[in-house]
Structure 1
């Protein structure tokens, strides 16, 4: 068992600060008014002071167009330990150029991970300052010199690679792939839609020469950029060297934030860690860190199986419109298949007097639609009588063009270049922020909700601008601040409330947003085979119990039913549109669906919250997903495990050999395979060394393997 140790050593005389998280050590020093990266080790051995790097800044801050990575004076350094064992070091710096105080907190969180947060305070008595840009984390890692010429061989060899989600667009979330970082050539990735997705500010760096991984995420729910540069120094003399420089930052037009006299603002939080083992361990360490120190859970943390009303009752798709009778039929279906929560989705609101509800154009008017004359109370009462919890979909940050809110408050929308964004409310305005929060609280209390689903189906791109004391401030920074603050307060006010983050599918899957919710809708795409790749990739950035995967009428036209259900029970399962009504239900679909829901509730969910995840196929190529995919989850005590093996498209061989990675090799396991239902006993060593041969002779099929240690 690995001993987790968090330690901080500070030499105030030399202004040198060293942070330790398990075997990862991160060192900084304040030299000539600059806070510099000295080194980053992954083996627990402290570097000599004479080996410190002396030219790499650990952050950048630009205020009113002036770069302030220099001019800093040490004011204070304090440490404290929190109730979960994390050790925090807060370095306070004062700038000699601008009236700014900077508090930098570096937290040692265990598992080789650190958390970095900053507070910028305007010390002026009467002058507002404008934040042009800021980079909360810059670093330089893997300073390679030994036998470099021989090991590189030539310029075609890339010493470093970056793994990231390479697609930025809706429905292609989680498409993980590696890209080499060429020598002396910069590589960067960014988002542009005004959200953190449909990619995510998450990356993994790999040292291709000396080994090791560096994993990083930024909690920021708007545009971002991450950049890398492999600096190869070779002037014909020895020693040659190559460093990997990295930075991750929020991106917004300037000024990103106007800071009033005496005001202090927080910058995006960055989580980063280093290890020198394998990719599985690097991802598992991230999951351990997120579960322990970042992500929110309610009660026992068990995720409820959701039945989403949208499916055969979905406005805009020529389906029956929402009604009390129809919603009660959905509750009947939910109970029959073993779901635990009925979610009422878009279309329940908006008194527009039309046939049906124009759900996208009536957001903002959060009152029951004409088709629900008795409100939602009878529906929720009926669902609860069947043992179901209830949830409600709300797109609280928007107001549709046909809403009364849009008519009464045209000034509440984002504005840019003398025109307004359609639908997007400007939460940078205090009165709009207050209204949105009050509506969220009102709906939770009115219906006594068990789950609140927040959606956001708009792209604000580079945001809008608001005039303040003769200057124009971009809206993105305050928009993010507002939504974070709202849901921090909502979470405290309703500690037993499940909160679902659903931003146009996977529009906001960064840890800043996810940490304030209990589950996240990582994509709106549920069709095979791409849904498998979405689960596979997103379960790198986030633990799988926080990842919502769904199946139903819209996804049912490719792949067999067992396979679709295998995907969702490896995540947080949601079902929709299983049948128009119980009377019309195919008995087989009810039986198969209920079987897998019971497997989730009675087997997978018993260890899902702490499962160790193994990605046997981290990269799944192709437009939608080609080859084989395999995921393995193992309980903390290694007494239980589940694995799913999927045959996707363009597969040449009919057999995949799954060699388990997380089992106790000394133990024996009872093995059950679905859908074939076979059961047998095998030793952990054989399952790990020889594996199981999974034979699937047609595309879009799968097998689910469940293991339980025998006495």
Structure 2
């Protein structure tokens, strides 16, 4: 999709720069040695220069413990436009007292969105510099000056709210909620596990007085922080005013990174957009921007239906845990269901056939275990003979305590406080980084993989430390640089390779790592009803086709409802049956039906669909009440919606009023699992809606709509 609604206006005489994306205009100004966040408008009308904000730096950079948000001198400004119509402006600055050059890169990408990058270049000839801290983007929005006291309704209404994922812990990803920003009280949110999740550096700001949304994500897969302050100046002697200050940054113990003489490093990218629209449209603009300018696509972009072998291949059911015969049996189930890619999960490597070992303590030895004497080759040959593509699980950043790699290279592990951190390899060390990349390439080439699944099941918390260039440098920054660089090169070397991101489920769902992969585990919690809330929330931050959802055995709720969840994301199934001989005909028929619906209907418009969140906030510990999601094709000829009755619903009926249909058209409606079909007008579906009646918890209906010909 080409975009011509971007532009850059650089007034070099006044050092004022305006970046335009659709109706959104972001203004910066270099004055008194500071690059200021001068204004952000969401209605297409540019502010006058005399109304620019004059005291709000747009970034902060601390080198050797000294803040460098001021002291900058202009070098150069250049702009260009790419084939998509995205406009990029690069402002080059040099610091007056520190040997630092800074490239401030702002991309206008359409849909009201921008991508902000900072490149930090050392101009030192002989001394390494220390990056203490960086805030790559900060600013101030929504200044209010008119009748503030009255508009605040005597302090009963908070002027601004933040929408975010409020839970930081495993299995609670995507729990979206609004939180008011108290007046003149700063608040912040952060991660602490050494990963970006199980929350995400993603937030939505809402103006509760004058309206509008500001959507922001930072591409950083380690610890992060977002901070907010509603500044209310209410001195009775002067005009009252109010605005909302924000900032987003990576967090790591100092120094985060040493910078060698002449070296160039990049701060995490920040993606942001503003719009004076409803929440659905704000999210749709984000998805459109991400799909066009950020996320990786392989081939036609259609996501394959994945079958994962791990369902029944567990100790106590089949012994040994993994075998060639057992894997081939799983292949046969996958082919019978109509899956398209067969994934071999954890446990295929190392000495897992020996007593007392498990999949976690032999990672690092990426060679087939002795329980697979013929390696994985016969399994993959069988899968390909059945028309299936092939994938492989690898936790490449770790080495288990019983692995040969751990014994041979004890110095390759993360270290802190004088001891080794278990399992976690230190990719800030070049030899470790080179080994990791070479192993990925070797495995892809050896098995001719169609998908490589990266997992990461360790929390390094504040990271480790290495003495480098005279500084006791933290490991997080270089580790993330290594992972990003490795998978950028792997993606280029194997342009048709699907890359699947997983980190103990949803431990790394930020746009930094997701942009280098083609699909992502947003959680490995698949039980109802929380799995619905995970899909519902994470499909705000990411387009749904990038969100992996799975069916696994032993779940609460009926099978149709589980199928409805996974078909609205990127579907994966495992454990549908122990074997074809033991398969339940009803179970197989249900799974095959919904796989067909996904491939023949939903997937035909999935990766360009407009998403409507009828229930953006789902309360409760696991999800209470009702949940409803609606996807509509760009041309509004097709749509799919699912309505779920979760737990503790007070009514047996939910009125689904469609939001994205052509109100002047008629639609053929099909409802699953009941199978009824009828034709009804788009106006009626939008205004009166469909009455969904479900009298028991953990059930659902899927509604498929196709525009009827006149």
| TM-score grouping bracket, smaller chain normalisation | over 0.9
Q: Secondary structure at the match of 2:88?
A: strand
Alpha-carbon contact 1:423-1:458 (below 8 Å) kept? yes
**Cα distance in 2 between the residues matched to 1:585 and 1:469:** 62
- The CA deviation string for residues 178-205 of structure 1, in whole angstroms up to 9 with x for no partner, is 0000000011100000000000000000
Alpha-carbon contact 2:548-2:570 (below 8 Å) kept? yes
Residues 1:418 and 2:425 are matched in the alignment:
no
The residue aligned with 1:620 is: 618
- Moved runs in structure 1, 4+ residues, more than 4 A? 1-4, 315-320
Alpha-carbon contact 1:351-1:367 (below 8 Å) kept? no
- The CA deviation string for residues 43-80 of structure 1, in whole angstroms up to 9 with x for no partner, is 01010111011000100001111000000000000000
- The CA deviation string for residues 447-484 of structure 1, in whole angstroms up to 9 with x for no partner, is 00000000000000000001113321100000000000
1:84 is displaced (CA, Å) by 1.1
Alpha-carbon contact 2:645-2:699 (below 8 Å) kept? yes
1:552 is displaced (CA, Å) by 1.5
Residues 1:247 and 2:247 are matched in the alignment:
yes
**Cα distance in 2 between the residues matched to 1:261 and 1:500:** 36
- The CA deviation string for residues 278-323 of structure 1, in whole angstroms up to 9 with x for no partner, is 0000000000000000000100000000000001103598865100
1:355 is displaced (CA, Å) by 3.8
Q: Secondary structure at the match of 1:117?
A: strand
**Cα distance in 2 between the residues matched to 1:627 and 1:317:** 36
Residues 1:639 and 2:637 are matched in the alignment:
yes
**Cα distance in 2 between the residues matched to 1:314 and 1:519:** 25
Q: Secondary structure at the match of 2:162?
A: strand
- The CA deviation string for residues 318-375 of structure 1, in whole angstroms up to 9 with x for no partner, is 8651000000000010011111111000000002661485110000000001110000
The residue aligned with 1:84 is: 84
The residue aligned with 1:472 is: 472
The residue aligned with 1:577 is: 575
**Cα distance in 2 between the residues matched to 1:520 and 1:594:** 23
Q: Secondary structure at the match of 2:391?
A: strand
**Cα distance in 1 between the residues matched to 2:666 and 2:568:** 23
Residues 1:37 and 2:37 are matched in the alignment:
yes
Q: Secondary structure at the match of 1:609?
A: helix
**Cα distance in 2 between the residues matched to 1:329 and 1:91:** 59
The residue aligned with 2:364 is: 364
The residue aligned with 1:324 is: 324
Residues 1:47 and 2:47 are matched in the alignment:
yes
Alpha-carbon contact 2:637-2:706 (below 8 Å) kept? yes
Q: How many pairs align?
A: 709
The residue aligned with 2:608 is: 610
The residue aligned with 1:134 is: 134
Residues 1:230 and 2:221 are matched in the alignment:
no
The residue aligned with 1:94 is: 94
**Cα distance in 2 between the residues matched to 1:154 and 1:30:** 38
Which runs of 5 or more residues in structure 2 are unaligned?
none
1:120 is displaced (CA, Å) by 0.2
The residue aligned with 1:695 is: 693
The residue aligned with 2:457 is: 457
Q: Secondary structure at the match of 1:125?
A: coil
The residue aligned with 1:664 is: 662
1:636 is displaced (CA, Å) by 0.7
Which runs of 5 or more residues in structure 1 are unaligned?
none
**Cα distance in 2 between the residues matched to 1:415 and 1:200:** 26
What's the C-alpha RMSD, in Å, of the aligned pairs? 1.3
The residue aligned with 1:256 is: 256
**Cα distance in 1 between the residues matched to 2:587 and 2:237:** 71
**Cα distance in 2 between the residues matched to 1:680 and 1:355:** 59
Cα separation, partners in 2 of 1:90 and 1:202, compared to 1, 3 Å: same
Q: Secondary structure at the match of 1:360?
A: coil
Q: Secondary structure at the match of 1:106?
A: strand
1:155 is displaced (CA, Å) by 3.2
Residues 1:430 and 2:430 are matched in the alignment:
yes
Identify the range of structure 1 (313-322 vs 681-690) with the bigger mean alpha-carbon deviation.
Answer: 313-322
The residue aligned with 2:105 is: 105
Alpha-carbon contact 2:567-2:598 (below 8 Å) kept? yes
* TM score, norm. by length of structure 1: 0.99
The residue aligned with 2:184 is: 184
Q: Secondary structure at the match of 2:151?
A: helix
Alpha-carbon contact 1:640-1:709 (below 8 Å) kept? yes
- The CA deviation string for residues 159-186 of structure 1, in whole angstroms up to 9 with x for no partner, is 0000000000000000000000000001
Alpha-carbon contact 1:315-1:359 (below 8 Å) kept? no
Alpha-carbon contact 1:310-1:344 (below 8 Å) kept? yes
- The CA deviation string for residues 583-639 of structure 1, in whole angstroms up to 9 with x for no partner, is 001100000000000000000000001000000000000000000000000001000
Alpha-carbon contact 1:612-1:636 (below 8 Å) kept? yes
Q: Secondary structure at the match of 1:216?
A: strand
**Alignment match of 2:672 (pick from 671, 674, 677):** 674
Q: Secondary structure at the match of 1:194?
A: coil
Cα separation, partners in 2 of 1:617 and 1:634, compared to 1, 3 Å: same
1:153 is displaced (CA, Å) by 3.0
1:154 is displaced (CA, Å) by 2.6
1:237 is displaced (CA, Å) by 2.6
Q: Secondary structure at the match of 1:411?
A: helix
1:2 is displaced (CA, Å) by 13
- The CA deviation string for residues 204-240 of structure 1, in whole angstroms up to 9 with x for no partner, is 0000000000000000000000000000001113420
Identify the range of structure 1 (237-246 vs 279-288) with the bigger mean alpha-carbon deviation.
Answer: 237-246
Cα separation, partners in 2 of 1:121 and 1:546, compared to 1, 3 Å: same
Cα separation, partners in 2 of 1:412 and 1:2, compared to 1, 3 Å: closer
